[in-house]
Structure 1
Amino acid sequence: MLQKLSLSGLKVVKKLCIVPKVECGIRFLSSAVIKRQNFFFRQLFDTVSSTYTYILGDMRTSEAVLIDPVLEHAERDATLVKELGFKLIYAMNTHMHADHITGTGKLKTLLPGTKSVIGKASGAQADIHLHDGDLVKFGDYQLTAVSTPGHTNGCLTYICHQQCMAFTGDTLLIRGCGRTDFQEGSSERLYQSVHSKIFTLPDHYTLYPAHDYKGQTATTVGEEKKYNPRLTKTLKEFVHIMDTLNLPYPKMIDKALPANRVCGLY
């Protein structure tokens, strides 16, 4: 079920998550599995594109969602969902990826009843298009879709206030951020997105990116506000850093973007 979140409701949820910290299930060390009360979380990895895929589920209702699936691992993910006894209701993307082909379309064939989800501004096909402030519900839990453009126009950060965690896609990485030199990229917009939508979350919120290339699995708002070598700079300094990265042309972009516009089925 998708709903629009009111600002007043968001403020209440934030207050509930700030104290006491134990009730929020704060994690100071990352692990691959979280099981608190009836909440299930699993972090999976693709070694080729260094992409993280996440499964979140309600063990009481058996409803689950999956964030940023990779085509080559769709069968792995579907098998795991079945083994765990979940019903996958949403296969979601944080944005239209350029470094791998999404597994959402394949998962729909492997797990009938699954619906594909992506931001409306992405320009990609999906069963459900999200706008800023929409809620994605699974069992007793929900994700708030927050528009965080800059890497692409359609980038969304999914926030679970009940668990004090957020899935930042390529907008904010661990001690880094997504590149802004292609696919509607804008350094100014990315900087504003991070500072106004992610860095305004409580410091103890755990952040899970779409990728990591150095073996780290998670970070926190407080860590990134203090240690991110790019986003702790002024806007002017940040733009200069992004303009002088001189990164190579993405290897998969010419294949991935056309495929991801049609849910990974091409």
Structure 2
Amino acid sequence: MIFRQLFDPVSSTYTYLLGDSGEAVLIDPVYEQVPRDQALLRELGLWLLTTLDTHVHADHVTGAWRMRLRCGSEIALAAVVEATGVTRPLGHGDRIDFGTRHLSVRATPGHTNGCLTYVLDDQSMAFTGDSLLIRGCGRTDFQQGSPQQLFASVREQILSLPDDCLLYPAHDYRGITVTSVTEERRFNPRLGGGVDVGDFAGYMNNLNLPHPKQMAVAVPANMRCGQPEGSAEVATETPDWAPLTLRFSGVWEIEPMALLERGAAFQIVDVREAPEFIDRLGHLPGAKLVPLSQLTGRLEELDRERPVVAVCRSGVRSAQASVLLTKAGFGKVANLAGGMLRWRTEGLPVASDSV
């Protein structure tokens, strides 16, 4: 089974990708991170069947609708929420299949009335949303929350799992990535040890926390499964100046044939060292040699209004050059996929004149 834990630094949200036999599910996707997640799915050769939200989030907008628009994936959320756009309403005991594996659905209300926990078939992993955080739990003072209900949910549905079951929350604000049933039973200050429901309710009812900053935007959007008002996909990151592919690293790449067809419109910057520029691989016709070590000191030699394609031997150094150029304010930057090695393998024209 393929498992990846992804992180959104703005909302401190964890998104989880699980894949098997070419099929995948994605738990708690974030709207702005959809291009990243789609790139990872493509690179791992996975077909996204379903996005699963653990609850209606108040601190970020889900990527469920956006992933459905791009991948055709089902949108799964607790049926009790009655959100618009859900294609697979879930209840306690339901099963979500992917490849030869599956997740079981456990209703764990209390943080919100629609919280779900997803448990892997062998009970080695569980994805708890905000119902149980690492040494903590979600608040209970809005979205039909209830400390009594959350206490029962966590004790009966999560901490009843096997001792070595790994627990993965929807958030962590300290950089901690995983915990276990044993740890939370022993060390969770709100829900572990000898804490009873009276202790827990007294604690939760006196948190006096401000509402999440994005709540007024996030909750209405998530009641539409992340669909923007007016049904238009907004803030898409896909460039329109060339046919590009986003890699999981965050770098946009252009295929050799696409560059050959459109090369006259681009600035081609070769970031190898001078001897490599005229070695047996040669270089692209019209390419400008700017070694990576000199790039940040020679930015004034480049036209910020024209697209830039970075090139090197294999695509590794030029990927770093793409990052540097983007950080320097160049708006249209791509990396040549596979570098000069792939360019030559595909039999495309090269030059070998001196620097």
The 5 Å alignment of 1:74-85 reads: 74-85=34-45
Report the Cα offset of residue 110 of structure 1.
1.9
Aligned-partner Cα distance in 1 for 2:153–2:220: 26
Report the Cα offset of residue 123 of structure 1.
2.3
Q: Which residue of 1 aligns with 2:31?
A: 71
Report the Cα offset of residue 72 of structure 1.
0.6
Report the Cα offset of residue 249 of structure 1.
1.5
Q: Which residue of 1 aligns with 2:207?
A: 245
Instruction: Give the number of aligned pairs.
Output: 225
Aligned-partner Cα distance in 2 for 1:245–1:129: 32
Aligned-partner Cα distance in 2 for 1:122–1:43: 26
Which string of whole-angstrom CA distances, capped at 9 and with x for unpartnered residues, describes residues 95-137 of structure 1? Answer: 11111000011111222x3111111012223110011000000
Matched position secondary structure for 2:4: strand
Report the Cα offset of residue 250 of structure 1.
1.3
Aligned-partner Cα distance in 1 for 2:201–2:162: 26
Q: Which residue of 1 aligns with 2:138?
A: 178
Task: Determine if the alignment matches structure 1 residue 255 to structure 2 residue 217.
Answer: yes
Report the Cα offset of residue 205 of structure 1.
0.2
Q: Which has the larger radius of gyration?
A: 2
Task: Determine if the alignment matches structure 1 residue 118 to structure 2 residue 77.
Answer: yes
Given that 1:100 and 1:256 are in contact with CA atoms closer than 8 Å, whether structure 2 keeps it comes out as yes
Q: Which has the higher contact order (CA 8 A, sep 6+)?
A: 1
Given that 1:50 and 1:213 are in contact with CA atoms closer than 8 Å, whether structure 2 keeps it comes out as yes
Aligned-partner Cα distance in 2 for 1:52–1:124: 22
Matched position secondary structure for 2:203: helix
Aligned-partner Cα distance in 2 for 1:140–1:50: 31
Given that 2:123 and 2:161 are in contact with CA atoms closer than 8 Å, whether structure 1 keeps it comes out as no
Given that 1:123 and 1:154 are in contact with CA atoms closer than 8 Å, whether structure 2 keeps it comes out as no
Structure 1: gaps spanning 5 or more residues: 1-38
Q: Which residue of 1 aligns with 2:15?
A: 53
Report the Cα offset of residue 91 of structure 1.
1.0
**Would the alpha carbon gap of residues 230 and 71 (structure 1) be closer, same or farther in structure 2, given more than 3 Å must change?**
same
Structure 2: gaps spanning 5 or more residues: 229-355
The 5 Å alignment of 1:61-210 reads: 61-111=21-71, 113-125=72-84, 126-162=86-122, 164-210=124-170
Q: CA RMSD in A?
A: 0.9
TM-score using structure 1 length: 0.83
Matched position secondary structure for 2:202: helix
Which amino acid in 2 is paired with 1:229? P
Displaced runs of 4 or more, over 6 A: none
Given that 2:111 and 2:146 are in contact with CA atoms closer than 8 Å, whether structure 1 keeps it comes out as yes
TM-score using structure 2 length: 0.62
Report the Cα offset of residue 161 of structure 1.
3.0
Aligned-partner Cα distance in 1 for 2:108–2:51: 19
Q: Which residue of 2 aligns with 1:20?
A: none
Which amino acid in 2 is paired with 1:249? H
Sequence identity (%)? 52
Given that 2:123 and 2:162 are in contact with CA atoms closer than 8 Å, whether structure 1 keeps it comes out as no
Report the Cα offset of residue 163 of structure 1.
5.6
Matched position secondary structure for 1:65: strand
Matched position secondary structure for 2:149: helix
Report the Cα offset of residue 213 of structure 1.
0.7
Which string of whole-angstrom CA distances, capped at 9 and with x for unpartnered residues, describes residues 197-241 of structure 1? Answer: 111111100000000011100000000000000002111111111
Which amino acid in 1 is paired with 2:11? S
